[in-house]
Amino acid sequence: MLLGAAAVLLLVLPFVTDAALGHGWVRILDFALLYVLLALGLNIVVGYAGLLDLGYVAFFAVGAYCYALLASPHFDLHWPLWALLPAGALLAASFGVLLGTPTLGLRGDYLAIVTLGFGEIIRIFLNNLNTPVNITNGPQGVSLIDPLRIGPWSLGQVHHLGGLEIPIVVNIYFLFLVGVLLAIVLSRRLEHSRIGRAWAAIREDEVAAASMGLHTRNLKLLAFAMGASFGGLSGGLFAGFQGFVSPESFTLQESVMILCMVVLGGMGNIAGVVLGAVLLSVLPEALRAAGGLQQDLLGRVWVDPSNLRLLLFGLALVLMMLLRPEGLLPARARQRELHG
């Protein structure tokens, strides 16, 4: 019953938003879904396995460039979607293993620093791999990327279903929604599986876990690879949606933002992570309206909306850590830890 209501809501939401607020807002919804997918991926690494990753955006970048290079005039390759997305996810997963293999002996803060460095390395590589052989096209990025296309259906154009007009952003919304739903199902299955329990055990007491006969290094690598593959998948979707990628989109700021979504919503809890991602991607956009509001009410713009966003964001984080350190919708286990 509740599930049915939620399904109807999700189905109607883009059309209502489009009619009421216009394409721009549906686009914001699309990005919110993309962030949900990213946050769910990072949640596997941070929430389930307890490994702090500050360079998660690197996997997003790998997936995006994988799509961009294999489906654009840059190399004159035009792979189909069903090959592009798995390729991006796989490539990102192997980068996860590549990062994890030498570094997973490190713990906590040290691991965080290394992952941060990794994120930067990937971005700088993308920025500079235009000489001597032009692979990534450097800071200009790759443009004219093929739009997302399912069989004969290009999602990059307006479709008509009966009398209903389905704009591009709504097409994208439904594709992303499918991705998010799959990710949720997969996360749930993982969390309650033998592997999920093993991750929880490692998170809590690595020595005890090892003495239970857990292959701790491989399990952590698996978490890295699984998380990275979600990132790679989102990257592919992002590239196909935008039609353009450049290294600028994959800064440390993005990694921090995704981590905030996971922490703010409630590490390890799927509903919390989804909520965190939606809030942090939609609220800043909503605050853009604050400029116009000031103009109307006070006669002039006192605080620039973009400054206001950061200010409120910082304030929200501080308040959260004071009042609900376990996140908005915490995992049961995390709540136990913080409130005994």
Partner 1 sequence: MTALLQVEGLSVHYGGIEAVTGLDLEVRQGERVTLIGANGAGKSSTLKALAGLVVPSAGSIRYDGVDLRTVPAWQRVGRGLSLVPEGRGVFSRLSVEENLLMGAYHRNGATGLYEELERVYGLFTRLHERRHQAAGTLSGGEQQMLAIGRALMAAPRLLMLDEPSMGLAPLMVERIFEVIRNIAEAGVTLLLVEQNARLALEICDRAYVMESGRIVLTDSAARCLDNPLVRSAYLG
Binding site for partner 1 (CB under 8 A): 194, 197-198, 200-201, 204-205, 207-216, 333-334, 336-337, 340
Residue 250 CB, shortest distance to partner 1, in Å, is 34
Residue 194 CB, shortest distance to partner 1, in Å, is 7
Residue 201 CB, shortest distance to partner 1, in Å, is 5
Task: Identify whether 132 is preceded by a cis peptide bond (ω within 30 of 0).
Answer: yes
Residue 340 CB, shortest distance to partner 1, in Å, is 8
Q: What is the DSSP string of 70-132?
A: HEETTTTEE--HHHHHHHHHHHHHHHHHHHHHHHTTS-HHHHHHHHHHHHHHHHHHHHHTTSS
Residue 100 CB, shortest distance to partner 1, in Å, is 17
Q: Which is nearer to partner 1, 158 or 212 (CB)?
A: 212
Question: What are the φ/ψ torsions at residue 78 (nearest 5 degrees)?
Answer: -140, 70
Q: How far is CA 108 from CA 46, 50, 54, 338, in A?
A: 11, 9, 11, 18
Q: Which is nearer to partner 1, 36 or 270 (CB)?
A: 270
Residue 188 CB, shortest distance to partner 1, in Å, is 16
User: What are the structure tokens assigned to 256, written together?
Assistant: 């921090």
Q: Which is nearer to partner 1, 165 or 337 (CB)?
A: 337
Tell how strand 149-150 and strand 77-78 pair up: unpaired
Q: Which is nearer to partner 1, 69 or 198 (CB)?
A: 198
Residue at 250: amino acid letter: F
Q: Which is nearer to partner 1, 201 or 328 (CB)?
A: 201
Q: Which is nearer to partner 1, 157 or 218 (CB)?
A: 218
Q: Which is nearer to partner 1, 74 or 203 (CB)?
A: 203
Residue 71 CB, shortest distance to partner 1, in Å, is 40
User: What are the structure tokens assigned to 339, written together?
Assistant: 């409130």
Please say whether the beta carbons of 223 and 44 come within 8 A.
yes
Number of Cβ atoms within 10 Å of the Cβ of 165: 12
CA torsion 292→298→304→307, rounded to 10°? -110
CA 281/CA 302 separation, integer angstroms: 24
Please say whether the beta carbons of 60 and 238 come within 8 A.
yes
Helices (H), the chain: 2-21, 23-43, 57-70, 81-103, 108-128, 168-191, 194-204, 206-211, 216-242, 252-265, 270-287, 289-298, 305-323, 332-339
Q: Which is nearer to partner 1, 10 or 333 (CB)?
A: 333
Residue 196 CB, shortest distance to partner 1, in Å, is 10
